[in-house]
Structure 1
Amino acid sequence: MSSKITVDAPLVILHGDEMAQVAFEKILDTFVTSRLEIPLVEIDLSAENRLVTNGQVVVDAVEALKRHGVGIKNAGMTVNRAQLGELLAKHPDLDGTKLHPLATKSPNGAIRKGIGGNITREDIQFRNLKVKRPEWVDRDIVVDTMEVGGIKESFNELSRATGIVKLMFVGASGDPVELHRREVKKGDPWLLATNDLEDVKAWAHRFFQRAIDEKRDIYLGLKDTVISGYDGVMRAAIEGIYDQHYREQVEALGLAYFYELIDAQAARLVSNPPERALWGVPDNTTGRKLYKLVEQLKQYGIPDRKAQVSISRMSAGGGDQYGSFNAPAEEDGILKVIVDGEEKHARHVRKGDPILLMSNDHEAIKDWVLQVFRDASRKSKEVYFGLKREVMEYDEVFSTVITDVRRELAEADTSPPSFMIMRPSSQLIKMITDPPRNALYPAQNLDGDIFSDISAALGGSLATASSIIESKDGTMLFEAPHGTAHDLYLKYLESDGKEAHFNSSALLYAVANALETLGEREENPALVDYAHRLKAALIDTVDAGIITGDLKGKTNAPESETLVDMQGFLDAVASRL
């Protein structure tokens, strides 16, 4: 007779790439299929399979999650141009000019939008981790951002009618061409932003020359994978100038140049600041937030972290930048935004200027605010929203919805949690320098992406945080917030699998969360108990000082630590079940 726990409901498994996938397969073998009789709906979301299926597997993943309700997603690669070229060379039958965006872009936004889910990230409640406070006071780090263009000079408003937003372009021919259209409802916010590519290039010249004059290492951060037609255009222009005019001088002076996605770079620099650097963040909305944070940290530093931080990220609805239309202008001309047949805004653009049109859904915003208040009330958390409402209609709608939801809860005799609305820059500073013991920080999509990575890095690593995506209809997707660990995967391959250094805590916690949810929904006490024991075994393993290399020196008793590889850590957890 089998001693396995029987589970009736299927669990959706979304596979990923590289070292994270190696770990995921071992976790599923050790803690799921060997201990549970459970139907698994497995979908290969690896970068190669997304390409080969022309993005169909992303659609399949959304449908499976909506049908079955609970899933686990592993980290997957978002390919850059070089990697895409390699994959196309491997599959010569594929026509690179006819690929659907889902074939090459990150599937995360499409999945969140497809299930209408918002993200909550919070620290795993490890008791034996004491993160060393990074030394920030008097660090000679300067954030440099553009003063013009972008969302700072956007046109944004609330739709006055339900209808279609059309982005039109009038070029040399004089004939209007439709670039993009999307449906909006009355009250939905939308925004058009552009950047003058010549301004971007001028900033790049000043930025690199400043680094040379002041002899600073150079850091540049953008979100070019997700917003390739906007941030990607700026990156190409900036790095083209670097290669042509400044690389030789920088290298001759012994200075270093680093490019990284802005969320990962912000996490790395805030948690491990260099002695001296020039940090370029061309997007002035993000750049101003990080400038204010860095100036605060240089003066006052980061206090010892005694609070667990939770961040709720508004990723449903229109997705803001992550669901935007973004592309460079093909020629000089005029952009026009037409809403329900009425011209709302027009502006000149020049060839190559990056264009971004984004929107959000009023009802999705309301669902998110309700979710935030529900989560905060359930866990007795204070809520700190970050909105730039006084200067942007786009953000003002969030403020209005918060007030409306609060009133509805009060009328229903449901007490909303304590909350405060502040500017996003103040929200970020409070989260890092003055967090209350139990707080929830709701943020819009891009801010939430950056803020959550910073918080996770300060809490230990992305491998010590959990990520939950919840939709209005109850669909739950659990994931680890870290990436695929490309560098560790290369070492794994080079050693023929002998060097497997990867912290699988976040993936393991995601599995336990998913099993707990399944158990609660089908009223399966044995499964709920197993999920609780799995979480306890994970936390007890770290309590015993058994850790992977990324946590070396971060426990309360570094002299008693036992460093193990990925398999050793999983074996230690399994032995405690």
Structure 2
Amino acid sequence: MAQKISMATPLVEIDGDEMTRVLWQVIKEKLLTPYIDLKTVYFDLGLLHRDATNDKVTVEAAEAILAYGVGVKCATITANSARQKEYNLQHLHPSPNATIRAILDGTVFRKPIVVANIHPTVVTWKKPIVIGRHAYGDVYKAAEMAIPSAGKVELVYTTKDGKEQRILVANMDGPGVVQGMHNLDDSITSFARACFLYALEEKLDLWFATKDTISKTYDGRFKEIFQQVYETEFKARCDAAGISYFYTLIDDAVARVVKSEGGFLWACKNYDGDVMSDMVASAAGSLAMMTSVLVSPRGAFEYEAAHGTVQQHYYRYQRGEKTSTNPVALIFAWTGALKKRADLDGLPELASFAERLEKATLSTIEGGLMTGDLAKLASPAPSKVLDSWEFIDAIRATLEKM
């Protein structure tokens, strides 16, 4: 075999949980380390290690991404009470993705991975729809409280010099729940700028949607800042590039999206982007066919799979079964990170390898070799459904021919 491709600066490698953790190692063994002298700074964000470190490892991983500039992340579990019991956890920590995104204060861009023989279930879609998801605040940084009995709930703002402003949230007639969310003007402004810059780079029209008719102050602030950033910083550049900016309500946007041809960037608030990216990925083919990159205004990038840890497949794997779990989004997380590392360090050979691995992956699927999720959608249908290990071996064989 030819000499391995060198790297100058390490990637920050963030390991994860369950089935994706298993496939993470297979991808490295079969598709990366035979060809690259792979340099990484490793963090184990598996659920048990996060619990053992009281989630300190998650913060350290995020800080390392800022220091090294590029990270690649496996899927991780966000524990709930059922997971706490299953794994005998001492703590229930926030979503590791939410923690990392808050520290990087970036925007998540998610784009479907398109192959010729997998057709979208939304028949009008001709081009990929990219989701730009705000990655700070809202429900992911919310404070919550269970109200045990009747009483008054208020929002209180106290200035640094001790002055207070209060508004009534609700007069509770009995037990219930309350939640307080927040966001920051600086973060919303960074989100808007990132979306306009991405739209210009990719030559895509930009849509933005909130519910400012109901949330006149909170969502209204998002609308106001987006419009201000557009008019003061990007209107002339968008006009020159032939790119349009379009604002509408989130429910109207959903109705328009499913009747559109695609081919635009849809900017969404944090929770909206979480939901809509899964909708777009599923309708485009599979949740495992979606790239995801977190872009920080401080110049750092984190690439990850846009799906979860594939829990049920992991239980089958623990019983000794070979599962047909789709590893494409995990592969593209690695290739995205390698291409960005190559771009930042001036390593064309590394970038070329990452491009070849992506093409080998798509060519393998288009050649009729794929996992079960894609086999249900492929036209023509494949003659055989491969398990994950067979599929990765098939990609390796295609890569060798290239």
Q: SS state of the match for residue 58, structure 1? A: helix
Query: Which string of whole-angstrom CA distances, capped at 9 and with x for unpartnered residues, describes residues 205-251 of structure 1?
Result: xxxxxxxxxxxxxxxxxxxxxxxxxxxxxxxxxxxxxxxxxxxxxxx
Letter in 2 for 1:116: D
Whether 1:399 and 2:223 are equivalent positions in the alignment is yes
Query: Which string of whole-angstrom CA distances, capped at 9 and with x for unpartnered residues, describes residues 528-576 of structure 1?
Result: 1111111111111111011101111422311x44321101111111112
| Distance in 2, Cα, partners of 1:398 & 1:386 | 9
| Distance in 1, Cα, partners of 2:154 & 2:372 | 54
Whether 1:307 and 2:116 are equivalent positions in the alignment is no
Aligned to 1:457: 282
Query: Which string of whole-angstrom CA distances, capped at 9 and with x for unpartnered residues, describes residues 342-392 of structure 1?
Result: 223024235642111111111111111111111111112111211222331
The 5 A counterparts of 1:413-562 are 415=239, 417-431=243-257, 433-494=258-319, 496=320, 498-558=321-381, 560-562=382-384
Cα contact 1:16–1:44 (8 A) shared by 2? yes
Whether 1:378 and 2:378 are equivalent positions in the alignment is no
Cα contact 2:339–2:354 (8 A) shared by 1? yes
Aligned to 1:329: 147
Aligned to 2:388: 566
Gaps of 5+ in 1: 134-301
Query: Which string of whole-angstrom CA distances, capped at 9 and with x for unpartnered residues, describes residues 427-479 of structure 1?
Result: 11222x21234111111111111111111111111111111111101211111
Cα contact 1:328–1:351 (8 A) shared by 2? no
Equivalenced residues, count: 391
Letter in 1 for 2:223: S
Aligned to 2:115: 126
Residue 561 to residue 418, structure 1, CA distance change in 2 (3 Å): farther
Aligned to 1:11: 11
Displacement, 1:34?
Answer: 2.6
Residue 107 to residue 408, structure 1, CA distance change in 2 (3 Å): same
| Distance in 2, Cα, partners of 1:406 & 1:77 | 37
Whether 1:368 and 2:154 are equivalent positions in the alignment is no
| Distance in 2, Cα, partners of 1:546 & 1:109 | 35
Letter in 1 for 2:247: I
Cα contact 1:313–1:448 (8 A) shared by 2? yes
Displacement, 1:22?
Answer: 0.6
| Distance in 1, Cα, partners of 2:105 & 2:147 | 31
The 5 A counterparts of 1:98-247 are 99=91, 103-131=92-120, 133=121
Residue 34 to residue 445, structure 1, CA distance change in 2 (3 Å): same
Letter in 2 for 1:421: Y
- TM-score under structure 2 normalisation? 0.92
Aligned to 1:294: none
| Distance in 1, Cα, partners of 2:375 & 2:211 | 40
Cα contact 1:8–1:38 (8 A) shared by 2? no
| Distance in 2, Cα, partners of 1:322 & 1:515 | 29
Displacement, 1:393?
Answer: 1.4
Aligned to 2:28: 28
Choose which of 392, 406, 409 in structure 1 pairs with 2:233. Answer: 409
Cα contact 1:50–1:56 (8 A) shared by 2? yes
Q: SS state of the match for residue 266, structure 2? A: strand
Q: SS state of the match for residue 5, structure 1? A: coil
| Distance in 2, Cα, partners of 1:430 & 1:411 | 23
Residue 485 to residue 411, structure 1, CA distance change in 2 (3 Å): closer
Q: SS state of the match for residue 129, structure 2? A: strand
Cα contact 1:72–1:511 (8 A) shared by 2? yes
Query: Which string of whole-angstrom CA distances, capped at 9 and with x for unpartnered residues, describes residues 244-303 of structure 1?
Result: xxxxxxxxxxxxxxxxxxxxxxxxxxxxxxxxxxxxxxxxxxxxxxxxxxxxxxxxxx54
| Distance in 2, Cα, partners of 1:553 & 1:50 | 36
Query: Which string of whole-angstrom CA distances, capped at 9 and with x for unpartnered residues, describes residues 311-369 of structure 1?
Result: 111112xx111111012124433223222222230242356421111111111111111
Aligned residues with identical type, % of pairs: 28
Residue 414 to residue 311, structure 1, CA distance change in 2 (3 Å): closer
Which protein shows a greater Rg? Answer: 1
Whether 1:84 and 2:84 are equivalent positions in the alignment is yes
Gaps of 5+ in 2: none
| Distance in 2, Cα, partners of 1:474 & 1:561 | 45
- TM-score under structure 1 normalisation? 0.65
Cα contact 2:124–2:261 (8 A) shared by 1? no
Displacement, 1:59?
Answer: 1.2
Cα contact 1:547–1:561 (8 A) shared by 2? no
Letter in 1 for 2:20: A
Displacement, 1:412?
Answer: 7.0
Aligned to 1:46: 46
Cα contact 2:110–2:291 (8 A) shared by 1? yes
